[in-house]
């Protein structure tokens, strides 16, 4: 069997692009609340045959530091309402919403995803996150967020409940027979009656089984618990990109092994590294574009971002002194992979705080020309480090437009990227089979 073609997801967290000050370079930020802005984004991605849109999300405003309010862009439209509106202005591209399993109820989530899947004729997907900040906890009745292990336990049970609710109605449970007056076939309904550690959900769900059976499930957890859950349940994982080919291959193999160990096929779990390119006409132009963006980012924001990743306040530190930090990998309770990446950097050589903040910002992006960037993607794909990529355009709409105009054709010409959509549903366009219901004969 030949290798499934390369796939792309078009992701967005900050509305102006993945770079925290990307908003200063593109469309006017007042347009972020208007659907026209997002329609252009979605339609551009669709013109580049992206398998899916992906809306990253958090449930709070980043106001831990003053710079987060003054300069941050962390207000945005809610993913389901936005994607549902976009479902009527697109025809092929997937619509993936981020869902926190810590601050949601599985009944609501199963229902919203099923509804979006019906409205889009099979293009819904979800990205499971477990939420890792105290700020989010405080918007939902808690003072601190749940411990890492508990969050993933709850997340695993959440997935099980959602899948069970979707499977509660067989695909052909609804009869809709006007002449006899029979609406549904009771024998094709399976009441869930779930009673677990974290949830008690009886069911049935009040919407028929989704078009895709189970809308695809994406995850990004890189910790042991996160990888274990992804190996068992995810259809695609978003991984950190940007490291060496060898580290990418190692990560790729790890996820594939976990899928196989869970009794699934290696192709059932797509590995999609994060890719956030600064696209220049020449290498020098690309570096210049990065520098321009970085210089638009107040140093306070750069330092506060680093402080955020480390879970501390660095407000009193001198930015010109050599930066030392006492890492506590066991006790740290936000994103463990980002934390470790910073520890790895500091293990290589000394940095001042200013240098480290800059370097951490720098490492989120891959800087190059269409030729070098396409070559990077091809290398990762052809050497077992990626099934595709999640494009987090640092600036919008221009990076996405440039990517579709200049990089996509190189991948198509190379024969690894499709010239048209494979089908009408996201599962078809990801090369994933439609799952039968758990009660299906």
Distance in angstroms (rounded) separating the CA atoms of residues 201 and 175? 26
Among residue numbers 381 through 440, which ones bind a copy of itself (CB under 8 A)?
none
Among residue numbers 94 through 133, which ones bind a copy of itself (CB under 8 A)?
103-105, 107-108, 111-112, 114-116, 118-119
Stretch that binds a copy of itself, among 28-36, 368-376, 382-390, 411-419 (CB under 8 A): 28-36
- Compute the least distance from the CB of residue 292 to a copy of itself, in Å: 13
Between 102 and 233, name the residue whose CB sits nearer to a copy of itself. Answer: 102
Residues in the interface with a copy of itself (CB under 8 A) total 74
Stretch that binds a copy of itself, among 80-88, 216-224, 309-317, 412-420 (CB under 8 A): 80-88
- Compute the least distance from the CB of residue 432 to a copy of itself, in Å: 22
Residue 11's closest CA among 37, 45, 40?
45
Between 296 and 375, name the residue whose CB sits nearer to a copy of itself. Answer: 296
Please identify which residue in 10, 12, 56, 82 interacts with a copy of itself, judged by CB under 8 A: 82
Residue 135 interacting with a copy of itself (CB under 8 A): yes
Between 122 and 368, name the residue whose CB sits nearer to a copy of itself. Answer: 122
Between 62 and 238, name the residue whose CB sits nearer to a copy of itself. Answer: 62
Please identify which residue in 183, 291, 322, 440 interacts with a copy of itself, judged by CB under 8 A: 183
Compose the 147-176 pattern: x for residues touching a copy of itself by CB under 8 A, - for all others: ----------------------x----x-x
Please identify which residue in 4, 43, 140, 338 interacts with a copy of itself, judged by CB under 8 A: 140
Compose the 194-233 pattern: x for residues touching a copy of itself by CB under 8 A, - for all others: -----xxxxxxxxxx-------------------------
């Amino acid at each position: 069997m030949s290798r499934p073609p390369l796939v792309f997801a078009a992701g967005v967290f900050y509305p102006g692009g993945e770079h925290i000050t990307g908003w200063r370079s593109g469309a006017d930020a007042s347009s972020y609340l208007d659907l026209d802005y997002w329609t252009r984004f979605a339609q551009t991605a669709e013109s580049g045959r992206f398998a899916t849109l992906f809306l990253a999300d958090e449930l709070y405003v980043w106001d831990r530091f003053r710079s987060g309010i003054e300069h941050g862009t962390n207000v945005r439209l809610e993913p389901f309402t936005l994607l549902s509106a976009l479902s009527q202005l697109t025809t092929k591209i997937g619509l993936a919403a981020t869902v926190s399993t810590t601050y949601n109820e599985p009944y609501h989530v199963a229902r919203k995803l099923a509804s979006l899947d019906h409205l889009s004729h099979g293009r819904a997907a979800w990205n499971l996150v477990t939420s890792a900040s105290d700020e989010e906890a405080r918007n939902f009745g808690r003072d601190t967020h749940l411990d890492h292990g508990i969050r993933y336990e709850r997340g695993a049970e959440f997935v099980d409940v959602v899948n069970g609710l979707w499977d509660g109605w067989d695909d052909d449970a609804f009869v809709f027979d006007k002449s006899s007056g029979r609406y549904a076939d009771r024998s094709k309904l399976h009441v869930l009656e779930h009673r677990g550690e974290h949830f008690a959900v009886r069911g049935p769900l009040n919407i028929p089984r989704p078009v895709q059976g189970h809308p695809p499930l994406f995850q990004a957890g890189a910790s042991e618990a996160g990888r274990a859950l992804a190996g068992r349940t995810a259809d695609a994982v978003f991984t950190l990109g940007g490291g060496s080919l060898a580290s990418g291959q190692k990560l790729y193999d790890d996820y594939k092994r976990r899928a196989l160990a869970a009794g699934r096929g290696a192709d059932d779990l797509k590995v999609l590294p994060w890719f956030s390119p600064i696209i220049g006409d020449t290498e020098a132009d690309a570096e210049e574009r990065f520098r321009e963006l970085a210089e638009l980012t107040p140093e306070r924001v750069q330092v506060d971002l680093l402080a955020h990743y480390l879970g501390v306040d660095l407000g009193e530190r001198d930015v010109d002194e050599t930066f030392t930090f006492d890492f506590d990998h066991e006790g740290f309770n936000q994103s463990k992979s980002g934390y470790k990446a910073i520890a790895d950097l500091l293990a290589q050589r000394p940095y001042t705080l200013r240098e480290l903040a800059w370097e951490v910002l720098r490492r989120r992006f891959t800087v190059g020309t269409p030729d070098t960037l396409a070559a990077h993607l091809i290398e990762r794909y052809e050497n077992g480090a990626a099934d595709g990529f999640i494009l987090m355009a640092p600036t919008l709409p221009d990076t996405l437009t440039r990517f579709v105009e200049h990089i996509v054709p190189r991948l198509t010409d190379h024969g690894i990227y499709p010239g048209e959509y494979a089908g009408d549903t996201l599962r078809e366009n990801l090369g994933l089979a439609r799952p039968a219901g758990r009660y299906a004969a």
